[in-house]
């Protein structure tokens, strides 16, 4: 297998954290987005959508989309389970993964892409008004998560899962996206400190 990666991009980071949690090492090839390497014909042969990450399987097929890649890795290396141990757990992990992706990760990502000067040539045109619209949506989800985390250690349960990976990558992007984290969220703050201390998450 070969993983196409971009070190500073949030989606590839989700896959790298997942691999680290599994203690799995696979070959990685970096793609430089800033020089538009992902737009070159050579990479289009890997992923016609010109996005990272992409995982080339041993049979030559290419798997894209971060969570799909993580699911494949989970099937090969089931321990520790990061998508849940049984049908009930898996359903709740899926629910929380989708909630966090759509209501936190995506708004923060859009705010980042449409406001950070370094991304102007990648996100053309940048829409500052879109970034402004997304920031309160992300903060609303942070408040919701704070209430939920009062009752359990991690996002989906008392076990660390893919939902926590998506959430911590989003939270770590808030500074660059200029999304202010509300100060009065003690449970989210506790969760963030715990997850940030995991060896897989440390940059």
Q: What is the value of pTM for the model shown? A: 0.95
pLDDT tens for each residue of 64-82: 999 999 999 999 999 999 9
- Residue 84 has phi, psi (to 5 degrees) of 100, 150
Of residues 48 and 100, more confidently modeled: 100
DSSP designation for 37: G
Please write the tens of the pLDDT for every residue from 108-167: 999 999 999 988 888 889 999 999 999 999 999 999 999 999 999 999 999 999 999 999
Residues 6+ apart with CB under 8 A from 29: 2, 3, 4, 5
Whole-angstrom Cα distance, residue 59 to residue 181?
Answer: 44
Cα–Cα separations (whole angstroms), residue 39 to 42, 62, 196, 200? 8, 17, 33, 30
Domains of the chain: 2-76 (3.40.30.10), 87-196 (1.20.1050.10)
């Amino acid at each position: 297998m070969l993983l196409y990666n971009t070190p500073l991009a949030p989606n590839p980071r989700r896959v790298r954290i997942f691999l680290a949690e599994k203690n799995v090492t696979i070959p990685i090839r970096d793609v430089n987005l800033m020089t538009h390497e992902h737009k070159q014909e050579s990479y289009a042969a890997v992923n016609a959508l010109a996005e990272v990450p992409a995982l080339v399987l041993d049979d030559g097929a290419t798997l894209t989309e971060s969570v799909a890649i993580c699911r494949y890795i989970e099937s090969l290396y089931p321990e520790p389970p990061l998508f849940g141990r049984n049908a009930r757990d898996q359903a709740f992990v899926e629910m929380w993964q989708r909630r966090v992706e759509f209501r936190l990760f995506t708004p923060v990502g859009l705010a980042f892409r449409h406001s950070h000067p370094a991304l102007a040539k990648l996100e053309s045109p940048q829409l500052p008004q879109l970034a402004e619209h997304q920031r309160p949506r992300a903060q609303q989800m942070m408040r919701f998560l704070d209430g939920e985390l009062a009752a359990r250690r991690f996002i989906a349960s008392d076990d660390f899962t893919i939902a926590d990976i998506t959430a911590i990558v989003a939270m770590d992007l808030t500074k660059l996206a200029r999304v202010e984290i509300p100060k009065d969220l003690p449970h989210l703050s506790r969760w963030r400190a715990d997850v940030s201390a995991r060896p897989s998450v440390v940059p």
